[in-house]
Amino acid sequence: MEGGAEKIVEAASEMAEEVGDEPLVGTLDVMLLVVLASVSVYYFFLRSSTKKDETPALKTFTISPTQLPSRSSDSNFVSKMKASGRNVIVFYGSQTGTAEEFAGRLAKEATRWGMKGMVADPEECDMNELAQLTDIENHLAIFCMATYGEGDPTDNAQEFFEFLEAGDEQLDGVQYTVFGLGNKTYEHYNAMAKFVDKKMAELGAKRVYELGLGDDDANMEDDFITWKDAMWPAVCEYFGIEALAQDINMRQYKLTVLEEYDPTRVFTGEIARLNSLKLGSQRPPFDSKNPFLAEIRINRELFKGGDRNCMHIELDIEGSRIRYDSGDHVAIYPINNTDLVNRLIELTGENADKVITLTNVDEDSSKKHPFPCPCSYRTALSHYVDVAALPRTHVLKELAEYTADNREKEQLLLMSGTSEAGKAAYHQWIIQDVRTIVHILEDLPSCKPPLDYLCELLPRLQARYYSISSSAKLHPTTIHVTANVLIYKTPTGRTNKGVCTTYLNQLKPDNGTKFHVPIFVRKSQFRLPSKPQTPVIMIGPGTGIAPFRGFIQERNLQKEEGKPVGRTVLYFGCRKKANDYLYEEELEEYKNSGLLELYVAFSRDQQEKVYVTHLMSQNKKDIWKIIGEENGHLYVCGDAKNMARDVNGLIIKICQTEGEMDQTQAELFVKKMITQKRYSSDVWS
């Protein structure tokens, strides 16, 4: 329309020029013609566009739903509690799903103790409302908080952490208790739980029961049940109500079998959005709820011999807008082993292709389904349920209800209890013998639970995290992964396999065959110094070399660009030089170029085992020079339980002998290094 108007005005101007020399048409006539042309343009073109908003209601209309009583928003948890008659809310800070699982168990158990609970993700709640909990009689806020990284909050608890740290809201009279999930092998054991417990009290909240600390290095389940079984009676006493646990139906989800359904509306493994894992239908940004389908470009064997396998995988992220830095982690969503899934279906006698929906019986719950529904049993067991997990005690208690043989039933009830004999039995029969749900059903043949209940009871299958072994500055369109294939014999003679590495080991592109895996990137604090001239010491035996491969690539690039690069020292270890010396050619090339100072320990190439700590002890003067005199950075990646602990002890010892400090001074020096981010760890247990 605008183009047509311009043409009419232009024509009027041309007409004016043409008649300019005629004596019968003066300047006034030309002006009148222009005015008439402008009026015509307005009437026929511009008028219609300005009148669009004035079109009578009969021309366009919308159908609105009947007005219902307003419901509280998802973030308004206090209003939701009031509306549904709840007095207990369980918040969770979870990175791998365990804290969320514990929160769900606590919310369900509240009913057994005469209360009514709900689970809440602090990321989806307005935590400024915490103070309003005092409006609810006998209220209780329970916090199940895991600690991530170097004492950091989990991703979903970051905003809650900042809320407490700011301390802008007084929480006088808010009744609470905290249970933490941590690992004693880590430097900042249960730091987030301790922070929440301390900060809540400082802001005026009332601690109803003592802080509970779960240690995954020992027995997290034991710590949790011991804490909660003492917590509930104490809460009842505080509220002045009878402390009597009721034995009630604990089913949380109702089963619906779909006889007729639209196949296009059935989930087939998507994490959240239907059809989101179809090539061509993906939309950024990509994260844990919307992972990117990355093509596996390369999947090659790194070991040169022996009976173990280690994969070097390259994931294509071109066009995804995914950005990463050296030291970050890539998360991969796995698929359960087909043999394990088929065996579980066989043991329960179900139809694998039956399409089901599990719906929360609590209509007010924000979590309507335990996983994306509807889906088939095969999809649920392959993509959503962790069938390889070791069942926790509450699962055993529920299994007992479906066990016909009295001896087998008593065994399950014993292991699900809190007696010392029960704890010992659980630790031996489940933890030490590494029994999954399949093994339990095989060894207790009279136990016949319905498959839909197992789908409810077992934990959700989580993404597996791997330290990225490449630098985005050198490989901006690919992410490299270095991972051992986990496979081992159990004391019962069975062979257990790692969920994700077993899955990945099967996906080897060849002859045009392509494989894609759902991924997302999780940012890390594990970073090279901002100044390339700062010296670094990297300690990473086995696949602990992964992030350091990225670091070395980055420093080599800086060197090639003419930047001054400080000393780059790597301590690497493996079993045998001939079999499992990872990236040997690359490392030797960096060493020969003058970039890398390389120390390699081959633990089994001689009679006495040699580890990276032995090589470090031989170079203690040089290590002190870097960390004590040159303000260098130290990095550790790998096993937390032994290697990282031994390295930490050795660094403290070096500070004593070479830095002339006593034990206390040395420990304070190392802690200061950690605070300054000059001593960083990327470890696992």
- Residue 646, annotated ligand binder? yes
Using alpha carbons, list the distances in angstroms from residue 514 to 292, 316, 475, 517, 620. Answer: 15, 11, 20, 10, 49
With a CB cutoff of 8 Å and minimum separation 6, the contacts of 530 are none
- Residue 639, annotated ligand binder? no
Catalytic residue among 320, 416, 467, 471: 467
Q: Would residue 75 show up in a list of annotated catalytic residues for this protein?
A: no
- Residue 524, annotated ligand binder? no
Amino acid at site 672: K
- Residue 149, annotated ligand binder? yes
- Residue 499, annotated ligand binder? yes
Q: Would residue 467 show up in a list of annotated catalytic residues for this protein?
A: yes
- Residue 380, annotated ligand binder? no
- Residue 308, annotated ligand binder? yes
- Residue 685, annotated ligand binder? no
Q: Are 637 and 631 in contact (CB under 8 A)?
A: no
Distance, CA of 398 to CA of 390 (rounded, Å)? 15
Pairing outcome for strands 679-684 and 633-639: parallel
- Residue 488, annotated ligand binder? yes
Q: What angle do CA 348, 248, 100 make, to 5 degrees?
A: 70
Distance, CA of 505 to CA of 299 (rounded, Å)? 8
- Residue 536, annotated ligand binder? no
- Residue 578, annotated ligand binder? no
Q: Are 559 and 565 in contact (CB under 8 A)?
A: yes
- Residue 455, annotated ligand binder? no
The closest alpha carbon to 644, from 155, 146, 214, 217, belongs to: 217
- Residue 610, annotated ligand binder? yes
With a CB cutoff of 8 Å and minimum separation 6, the contacts of 420 are none
**Tokens, residue 447:** 């136990």
Q: Are 128 and 174 in contact (CB under 8 A)?
A: no
- Residue 516, annotated ligand binder? no
- Residue 464, annotated ligand binder? yes
- Residue 467, annotated ligand binder? yes
What does the buried/exposed string (b/e) look like for 285-319 if buried means 16 or more CB atoms within 10 Å of the residue's CB? ebbbebbbbbbbbebeebbeeeeeebbbbbbbbee
- Residue 574, annotated ligand binder? no
Phi and psi, residue 47, nearest 5°: -60, -40
Q: What beta strand segments (E) does 208-342 contain?
A: 212-215, 253-257, 292-301, 310-316, 329-332
- Residue 219, annotated ligand binder? no
- Residue 465, annotated ligand binder? yes
- Residue 94, annotated ligand binder? yes
Catalytic residue among 328, 362, 639, 682: 682
How many CA atoms lie within 13 Å of 452's alpha carbon, on the beta-carbon side? 20
Tally Cβ neighbours within 10 Å of residue 166: 8
- CB-neighbour burial class of residue 349 (10 A; exposed 0-12, middle 13-18, buried 19+): exposed
- Residue 188, annotated ligand binder? yes
- Residue 591, annotated ligand binder? no
Using alpha carbons, list the distances in angstroms from residue 277 to 85, 267, 293, 368. Answer: 39, 10, 7, 22
Catalytic residue among 574, 637, 639, 681: 637
Distance, CA of 568 to CA of 630 (rounded, Å)? 13
Longest dimension (CA), the chain: 121
- Residue 611, annotated ligand binder? yes
- Residue 17, annotated ligand binder? no
Q: Which residues are annotated as a binding site for FMN?
A: 94-99, 146-149, 181-190, 216
Binding residues for FAD: 464-467, 488, 498-501, 684
Annotated binding-site members for NADP(+):
308, 543, 603-604, 609-613, 646
Among all residues, which ones are annotated catalytic? 467, 637, 682, 684
Specify binding-site residues: 94-99, 146-149, 181-190, 216, 308, 464-467, 488, 498-501, 543, 603-604, 609-613, 646, 684
